[in-house]
Structure 1
Amino acid sequence: MQLMTAHTPRTDFVERRRFNRVTVDLLGRFMREDRTEYPCRVENMSPGGIAIATPVVPNPGERIIFYIDHVGRVEGPVTRIFKGGFAAELIGTERRREKLAARLTWLANRGELDLPEDRRHERHMPADPFSDIILEDGRRYQVQIIDLSLSGAAVQSTVRPAIGARVTLGTMQGRVVRHLEEGFALEFAAVQADESIQRFFR
């Protein structure tokens, strides 16, 4: 049995470096050891580590649980604090890391594959198509919904926010993924519950 000494390389560090970091822009939240929760934005991620932007500063070594849109639940200890956020090691089985690697590859390539909107969900036209959008700076505009699903929407609008800009449609947060001739398409930050969508059909 090999003993770990001060000069023995950490295998978990080597394990993390087996995976390439993927630059992403995902919303989420994290829970500290005292069970307090805070919103965050993921800047880059691999199956072995994560770096997030947040004003909250945890303790080095503190175990954090993350809930990341499009990824799910991951966890691990804080490894580094930097200005505007922190990095953490991700703990998981080999199989879980392989699944996470596949998911991150999909997220990294979806723009090239023209997959910004999740077409697994049927799209509908609401009975009352008019709703409000709120931009990141708080400005509010009325738009006309072209179609709507659990994962995204297309709207006709007099304004066209930049690709990647965060907007709120009604009460649902998302980001602009494509410009249309008379509007734009947005992808919700998380797949919505049926109840959230049904209010547009009342």
Structure 2
Amino acid sequence: MRPAAVDLAPSRAERRNFQRVRIKIYGRFMLEDRSEHPCQVIDMSPGNVAFRADRQGAPGEKVIAYLDHIGRVEGVVTRNLDDGFAMTVIASDRKKDKLAAQLTWLANRHELDLPEDRRHERVAPRNPMSTLQLSDGREYQCRIIDLSLSGAAVEIDVRPALGVQVALGTMRGRVVRHFEDGVAIEFAVVQRPESLDSEFNGRQS
């Protein structure tokens, strides 16, 4: 048995690497010097992503990106573009399969213009660290990926069941979706911008 033969056989996720999806999502990325910068995805596949950004990484440099609706993505810069850069995605086949499903959902959402995900602009808070409290009182540290007046996507180690009532900080809501690194929460009531700013940006204002 030759182990190398396993590596040479393309998985479903690797074949999908060539199927780039043009999506408009925002996020931020961190370079090896630990500086963070805003970015916008131009197109993406489970194995590659092209960013529009003011700052470019050097070819071969490792990058960690936090993207709206997707979460944490790690990779290596492959080339610089006129207004950004491209990188390969470093992930297991399982993670790439999950990413393919997320990209399919995002592409379909844009095609169908689903109102639940377009009614309020989503932004990344200046202070992303928060706590998620379950109805039984248990609390877990979490990182807010993106936030809007109607809900939030958070990176967290636990997966509360869909429909479970939770509190993100002092904002009450319910779990409406699971994804690879966390959950999406819909707030019980649409929040006021100043309430979100006070709750999630106040400590760094």
Q: TM-score range by the shorter chain?
A: 0.5 to 0.7
Residue of structure 2 aligned with 1:18, choices 16, 21, 37: 16
Listed as ranges, the gaps of 5+ residues in structure 2 are 119-148, 153-183, 197-205
Alignment partner, residue 27 of structure 2: 28
Alignment partner, residue 111 of structure 1: 110
DSSP 3-state at the match of 1:61: coil
DSSP 3-state at the match of 2:101: helix
Distance 1:91 1:149, change over 3 A: same
DSSP 3-state at the match of 2:112: coil
* TM-fit CA distance, 1:17: 5.2
Alignment partner, residue 149 of structure 1: 150
- Answer with 1 or 2: which has the greater Rg: 1
Asked if structure 1 preserves the Cα contact closer than 8 Å seen for 2:31 and 2:57, the reply is yes
In 2, the alpha carbon distance for the partners of 1:11 and 1:61 equals 25
In 2, the alpha carbon distance for the partners of 1:29 and 1:87 equals 14
* TM-fit CA distance, 1:53: 0.5
Distance 1:112 1:60, change over 3 A: closer
1:82-97 correspondence to structure 2 within 5 Å: 82-97=81-96
Task: Choose between structure 1 and 2: higher helix proportion.
Answer: 2
In 1, the alpha carbon distance for the partners of 2:186 and 2:76 equals 30
DSSP 3-state at the match of 2:91: coil
Deviations 1:85-137 (A, max 9, x none): 10000011111111110010010011333414249xxxxxxxxxxxxxxxxxx
Residue of structure 2 aligned with 1:197, choices 181, 191, 199: 191
* TM-fit CA distance, 1:2: 7.3
Q: Which amino acid aligns with 1:30?
A: F
Listed as ranges, the gaps of 5+ residues in structure 1 are 4-8, 120-147, 152-189
Task: Supply the RMSD in Å over aligned alpha carbons.
Answer: 3.6
Deviations 1:59-109 (A, max 9, x none): 110000000011100011101111111000001111111111001001001
DSSP 3-state at the match of 2:116: coil
* TM-fit CA distance, 1:192: 8.6
Which stretches of structure 1, 4 residues or longer, exceed 6 Å deviation after superposition?
Answer: 9-12, 190-194
Q: Which amino acid aligns with 1:39?
A: P
Q: Which amino acid aligns with 1:150?
A: G
Asked if structure 1 preserves the Cα contact closer than 8 Å seen for 2:28 and 2:37, the reply is yes
Identity of aligned residues (%): 48
In 2, the alpha carbon distance for the partners of 1:81 and 1:11 equals 29
Distance 1:110 1:197, change over 3 A: same
Number of aligned residue pairs: give it: 130
In 2, the alpha carbon distance for the partners of 1:77 and 1:46 equals 14
Deviations 1:138-168 (A, max 9, x none): xxxxxxxxxx6226xxxxxxxxxxxxxxxxx
In 1, the alpha carbon distance for the partners of 2:47 and 2:8 equals 13
In 1, the alpha carbon distance for the partners of 2:53 and 2:14 equals 22
TM-score (structure 2 length as normaliser)? 0.53
Asked if structure 1 preserves the Cα contact closer than 8 Å seen for 2:13 and 2:46, the reply is no
